[in-house]
Structure 1
Amino acid sequence: MTLNFEYETDIKLDLDYESLIHKVVEKALDTENCPYEVELNVILTDNKEIQAINKEYRQIDAPTDVLSFPMVDYGIPADFSHLEEEADDCFNPETGELLLGDIIVSVEKVIGQAIEYGHSKERELGFLVAHSMLHLFGYDHMEEEERTVMEEKQREILDGLQITRNK
């Protein structure tokens, strides 16, 4: 697995974010039975930058906590069966890794939401990465049934790592 990290803010998170993100990504891959090694870009930024990205790509002029930019289209969430047919578009030709996409996280939101929800920054960052990974696998939460499925999968990932609301 290749995780490319960019830390693009002066705001300090004061935790081993690379290790935490690596664990959450691994658990999400295992939970969804991803049969491939993956390449993933993770950008940690501030509210101003994530707001600009949110405005450009989603036409929402407000900061958000996390954005997901998948490189793979799924007919059914986490259905990896068709990817080898699209090898030229989905895999890094040098490493053979599945190009999963990009996760962009607002460090300011991690800190603020951890305080707001009464849990640790580790739990908040872990939750946002798990949530984003599910989007990269094609899950969504626009409909009630989809939201329920995503919430259960997020819980399974975080519980499996013992990242609970109290931590």
Structure 2
Amino acid sequence: MTINIEYEAEKKLELPYESIIEEVVTASLDYEECPYEAEVNVVLTDNEEIRRINREFRQIDNATDVLSFPMGDFETPSDFERMEEQSEDYFNPETGELLLGDIVISVDKVEEQAEKYGHSESRELAFLVAHSMLHLCGYDHMEEEERAVMEQKQEEILKAGGYTR
């Protein structure tokens, strides 16, 4: 598995962010029973940059906590078989890994939301990674039923890793 982590924010998180990200990415893929080695890119940035990205790609002029850019075009969440059928589009030809996509996280929001929700920054970072990984696996939360499914999966992934409130 390849997990590329880029830390672009000036503000430094005082926690083992690399190991948290790697642990939650791996746990999420195990939970979703991904049968392939995968590649995921994670960028840690600040509110200003995530706002710019949000404006550019979603036409929403606000800073958000996390953005997910899935490479796969899932008809059904975590239908990894479909990815293999179109392997030239979804697998890295050099490594053979499934290209899942990119995650962009605001370090500022990790700090703000941890304080707001009364839990640790480690738990908030883990939550944002788990949430985004489910998006990379084809889940969404636009409808109430989808939201409930995502929330349950997020909580189970976090609980298994010991990331509780």
Q: Which moved more, 1:79-88 or 1:97-106?
A: 79-88
Cα displacement (A) at 1:133: 0.2
Unaligned runs of 5+ in 2: none
Following superposition of structure 1 onto structure 2, how do residues 11-90 of structure 1 map, counting pairs within 5 Å? 11-90=11-90
Query: 1:125 matched to which residue of 2?
Result: 125
Query: 1:103 matched to which residue of 2?
Result: 103
RMSD: 0.5
Unaligned runs of 5+ in 1: none
Query: 2:162 matched to which residue of 1?
Result: 162
Question: In the comparison of the two structures, how many residue pairs are matched?
Answer: 165
- CA deviations over 1:46-72 (Å, ceiling 9, x no partner): 000000000011110000000000000
Q: Which amino acid aligns with 2:136?
A: L
TM-score by length of 2: 0.99
Cα displacement (A) at 1:84: 1.3
Give the Cα separation in 2 of the matches to 1:107 and 1:83.
32
TM-score by length of 1: 0.98
The runs of at least 4 consecutive aligned structure 1 residues that moved more than 2 Å come to none
Give the Cα separation in 1 of the matches to 2:81 and 2:3.
23
Cα displacement (A) at 1:83: 1.3
Q: Percent identity?
A: 66
Give the Cα separation in 2 of the matches to 1:80 and 1:87.
10
